[in-house]
Structure 1
Amino acid sequence: MERLSLPFVFLVLSFISLADCGSIGVNYGRIANNLPPATKVVQLLKSQGIERVKVYDTDPAVLKSLSGSGIKVTVDLPNELLLSAAKRQSFAYTWVQKNVAAYYPSTKIEAIAVGNEVFADPNNTTRFLVPAMKNIHEALVKYKLDSDIKVSSPIALSALQNSYPASSGSFRPEFIEPVFKPLLEFLRKTGSYLMVNAYPFFAYGSLPNLISLDYALFRENPGVVDSNNGLRYLSLFDAQIDAVFAAMSALKYDDIKMVVSETGWPSKGDPNEAGASLENAAAYNGNLVRRVLTGGGTPLRPHADLTVYLFALFNENNKPGPTSERNYGLFYPNEEKVYEIPFTVQGLKNYRDKQSPVTGSGERLTTPVGGGGGNYSASASGQTWCVANGEAGKAKLQPALDYACGEGGADCHPIQPGSTCFDPNTLEAHASYAFNSYYQKKGRLIGTCYFGGAGYVVSQPPKFGKCEFPTGY
């Protein structure tokens, strides 16, 4: 994971019916002295329905614990071994036999990450990357594992020369001929994919006055239009991903797939780390899971369902650097969740009606008191509705109303002149109806009642005049 200081901006959030389109995994880092044993970690993964895990080595205790679990595993050949793997085929044979073949297939190893963010490695191991990958692949061929186990290498976004607008994405020129072309050719030849570590947190943190927090957290926002092709991006994450797709396309490797091998948001940081908070971490990871599991690709690759590995499973107390580095965990070392988010399609279905006070989406399960202009009667149905915040003001409410009735696809016919919900003819009433229509159509998913702070969730049915708010479409 590398801190970045360049703006990587961007997407179209796909709110479609819940289907197992994308896949969520987690990174299991262990730079800590207080983590539970690997056997308990595997039980934790299974209890959460997490079906993919990525580790940063080939620790025997971890790989043995994963045996028979059914969890798909990506292992890592560390940067310090790149030279040996590149120079000696015999080393690659021995490494694969000892660290992969010895555990497979009872431990479902599906990929080997050769190195990690090698382009950012201060030890200058970049020139060894592709030769090492080729030798590791040859070792897989020797043990007849090459059809089941892919070989790749995670790159940081600092490997890009340009990233904004997304369609102008390009790799750093000094690496194109010696590394990127051979790397992409190897991935194409072996049917593998490019691993990418993408962190909107770093981009936002470096330019908090220029990048919208809503844009970084997958919340409702006006979006950013790519000046080259007119595509509108509603999330920073998708723009980062498309910048890499564009860089590959510029080299004529449009057919290479991508796996997001790391992404995450810290729940705590130093005072100068903009955006590092529990609420924002819950928003980013929760909305990211929803975005991945509800399917749909990016503006440049609309059919490219993504596999995404969240960083990280635990808070790791021995990691050096700023406070954020020790607070990316989804779980505390005692296995309690740092915040509540789902990891599976079923989890999304169960979770959307049980949002906690800190959902990360800015939503509140509450009943407004006074000044709202609406009457709220009690309901024991467990249903929720979305209404406008009358205190948000016209500057926020009007654009949000326009979005809901336009791009958002809300049913706004009832609030047209002469229709059943036109009266009361107030901006708050009309926006509330439109917001709720959008919210219900999106299945009441977390984040779909934010509208830049102009909307919030209530647990009692709103009523403006004689207008009744639907709960389903």
Structure 2
Amino acid sequence: MEFNTQISHFLYAFFFFLSFQSVFSDSGTIGINYGRIANDLPSPPEVVQLLKVQGVTKVKLFDTDSDVLTAFSASGISLTVALPNEQLSSAASDQSFTDTWIQSNILPYHPNTIIEAIAVGNEVFADPQNTTQFLVPAMKNIYASLLKYNVASSIKISSPVALSALQTSYPSSSGSFKSDLIEPVIKPMLSLLQQTGSYLMVNAYPFFAYTANTDTISLDYALFRDNSGNIDSNNGHVYKSLLEAQIDAVFAAMGAIGFNDIKVVISETGWPSMGDENEVGASQANAAAYNGNLVRRVLTGGGTPLRPDEPLNVYLFALFNENEKTGPTSERNYGLFYPNEQKVYDIPLAAAGLGNMMNGSKSQVVAQPPAGGDASVGQTWCVANEEAGEEKLQEALDYACGEGGADCHPIQPGATCYNPNTIGAHASYAFNSYYQKNARGSGTCDFGGAAYVVTQPPRFGSCNFPTSRN
């Protein structure tokens, strides 16, 4: 073990700080989907305060609830609101309907409540009610109504599209839309977005692709962790994350039908903290890794290999665990927060939170207990992520025991925690010492993906891992 690393880590931190300062001018944005299919959520005014404390400035809703829109008045938070699928037929058939809808759902609130976009429908192509035919006419009528009431210049229109709209997504450069959608709906929709200066909303979930293809997709690739990457054989682009590959498949699909200048907003993406037995990868640690690494990726700037100069703009799914959602267990466990406003796990949601990266931690990942638990449930420990590989573990171990100030004497030869003499056991002890000495603070258990938080005391031989109360 090498302890004399202070100088090298100081230089690393210094140069990282310089790069950190320079990239944020080209960074993307992080927003959150605020769903309310639950019977135990905080009131809308309480939610607004929670979002402001977290530094969130963009929120996507799934309706135009009056109490919610009123709560966001003068908050400084920009909203994307929605016209639901069940209203598409009415919106498509008669502009008087969309006139009334705008008068009732937009004009009484905007601009005191900042409404920056309207999502017309949601994943319409996958809607079992077969509402696809109504989508573009409804979008056109909504836009005409926005023009009529002089708010079209400040409110965009779009429609969230699921990746199932793609016929081909691999390799990314071969991305294409389903042939039966292109002429009747994709081209007219993209043309309208182009004419109105809007963007395509895309719902992309690497979780689904990973769980269906664990034999061919690595977890590191899905979670934005270090990996060898995938090379697109058509253009040589190297992809280090599945989400970027998915988004480039959408860019390629648009380009294939002549739309190369339309931007994309990732209107939904996330990872569940809990799932059913067959939902491989659904865990608190993986959810924290995916969302934490994604936030860091977005806020430190840059685009995808196909469009490197276009920053990523992302809405995480979702703000809360929603207990009345149907379907598998994962559907009720995408939240960043429990209904009591306690974090499910701790990640930064704004640029200010990334400062912890300079403490040797590249994203904040701290597991939190569910509401109503006893005090013992709230204790957490930090352990090594052996999937990170020995080289990364050794580098992080050197930092923790050196500049990090962890108490590493118990893992020296002959000491109480030397055995088992493995890099994983030694790194776990050092990481936990650092974590506890820093009061289990946000960002003190990650080490660039080399560590994660657990809620059960680690067991390595006869070694006892300290807690903050020791």
1:38 partner amino acid = P
In the alignment, is residue 122 of structure 1 matched against residue 122 of structure 2?
Answer: no
In the alignment, is residue 34 of structure 1 matched against residue 40 of structure 2?
Answer: yes
Match of 2:113 in 1: 107
Structure 2 distance, partners of 1:379, 1:244, is: 44
Aligned residue among 283, 286, 292 for 2:289: 283
Aligned residues: 381
Structure 1 distance, partners of 2:407, 2:30, is: 28
Alpha carbons of structure 1 residues 119 and 332: separation in structure 2 relative to 1, 3 Å: same
Structure 1 distance, partners of 2:229, 2:129, is: 39
Structure 2 distance, partners of 1:246, 1:39, is: 41
1:111-152 deviations in whole A, cap 9, x for unaligned?
000000000001110010000000000000011000000000
Alpha carbons of structure 1 residues 356 and 86: separation in structure 2 relative to 1, 3 Å: closer
Corresponding residue SS for 2:144: helix
Match of 1:154 in 2: 160
Shift, 1:250, TM fit = 0.4
Match of 1:261 in 2: 267
1:149 partner amino acid = I
Return 5+ residue gaps in structure 2 as ranges. Answer: 1-17, 368-381, 409-420, 425-442, 454-470
Match of 2:385 in 1: 362
1:134 partner amino acid = K
Q: Is the 8 A contact 2:365 2:452 kept in 1?
A: no
Corresponding residue SS for 1:112: strand
2:49 partner amino acid = Q
In the alignment, is residue 88 of structure 1 matched against residue 94 of structure 2?
Answer: yes
Q: Which has the higher helix share?
A: 2
Structure 1 distance, partners of 2:351, 2:51, is: 15
1:237 partner amino acid = L
Alpha carbons of structure 1 residues 71 and 210: separation in structure 2 relative to 1, 3 Å: same
Match of 1:49 in 2: 55
Match of 1:185 in 2: 191
Shift, 1:306, TM fit = 1.6
Structure 2 distance, partners of 1:310, 1:28, is: 9
Q: Is the 8 A contact 1:92 1:136 kept in 2?
A: yes
Task: Summarize the alignment of residues 195-274 of structure 1 with structure 2, pairs less than 5 Å apart.
Answer: 195-274=201-280
Shift, 1:377, TM fit = 6.2
Alpha carbons of structure 1 residues 134 and 103: separation in structure 2 relative to 1, 3 Å: same
Q: Is the 8 A contact 2:345 2:365 kept in 1?
A: no
Structure 1 distance, partners of 2:87, 2:162, is: 19
In the alignment, is residue 19 of structure 1 matched against residue 45 of structure 2?
Answer: no
1:205 partner amino acid = T
In the alignment, is residue 310 of structure 1 matched against residue 316 of structure 2?
Answer: yes
Aligned residue among 330, 335, 339 for 2:336: 330
2:96 partner amino acid = S
Match of 1:346 in 2: 352
Q: Is the 8 A contact 1:44 1:335 kept in 2?
A: yes
Corresponding residue SS for 2:24: coil
Alpha carbons of structure 1 residues 448 and 257: separation in structure 2 relative to 1, 3 Å: farther
Shift, 1:242, TM fit = 0.3
Shift, 1:375, TM fit = 12
Return 5+ residue gaps in structure 1 as ranges. Answer: 1-14, 385-389, 394-443, 458-473
Shift, 1:97, TM fit = 1.0
Shift, 1:321, TM fit = 0.3
Shift, 1:101, TM fit = 1.1
1:286-321 deviations in whole A, cap 9, x for unaligned?
000000000100000001112100000000000000
Match of 2:301 in 1: 295
Name whichever of 52-61 and 355-364 sits farther off. 355-364
Structure 1 distance, partners of 2:204, 2:156, is: 20
Corresponding residue SS for 2:265: strand
Match of 2:418 in 1: none
Structure 2 distance, partners of 1:362, 1:146, is: 50
1:28 partner amino acid = Y
Structure 2 distance, partners of 1:348, 1:215, is: 22
Corresponding residue SS for 2:150: coil
1:265 partner amino acid = W
Corresponding residue SS for 1:29: coil
1:166-208 deviations in whole A, cap 9, x for unaligned?
0000000000000000000000000000000000000001111
Match of 1:404 in 2: none
Alpha carbons of structure 1 residues 391 and 300: separation in structure 2 relative to 1, 3 Å: farther
Q: Is the 8 A contact 1:219 1:361 kept in 2?
A: no
Shift, 1:373, TM fit = 11
Identity within the alignment, %: 62
* Larger RCO (CA within 8 A; separation ≥ 6): 1
In the alignment, is residue 175 of structure 1 matched against residue 181 of structure 2?
Answer: yes
Q: Is the 8 A contact 1:54 1:309 kept in 2?
A: yes
Corresponding residue SS for 1:268: coil
In the alignment, is residue 142 of structure 1 matched against residue 165 of structure 2?
Answer: no
Shift, 1:164, TM fit = 0.3
Structure 2 distance, partners of 1:361, 1:376, is: 12
1:368-399 deviations in whole A, cap 9, x for unaligned?
x99x9989966576899xxxxx9579xxxxxx
1:335-386 deviations in whole A, cap 9, x for unaligned?
000000001111111465375565899399xxxx99x9989966576899xx
Structure 2 distance, partners of 1:373, 1:153, is: 47
Q: Is the 8 A contact 2:73 2:114 kept in 1?
A: yes
Structure 1 distance, partners of 2:404, 2:75, is: 41
1:42-73 deviations in whole A, cap 9, x for unaligned?
00000100000000000000000000001000
1:19 partner amino acid = F
Structure 2 distance, partners of 1:340, 1:221, is: 24
> What root-mean-square deviation, in Å, do the aligned CA atoms of Structure 1 and Structure 2 show?
3.1
Q: Is the 8 A contact 2:199 2:265 kept in 1?
A: yes
Q: Is the 8 A contact 1:152 1:187 kept in 2?
A: yes
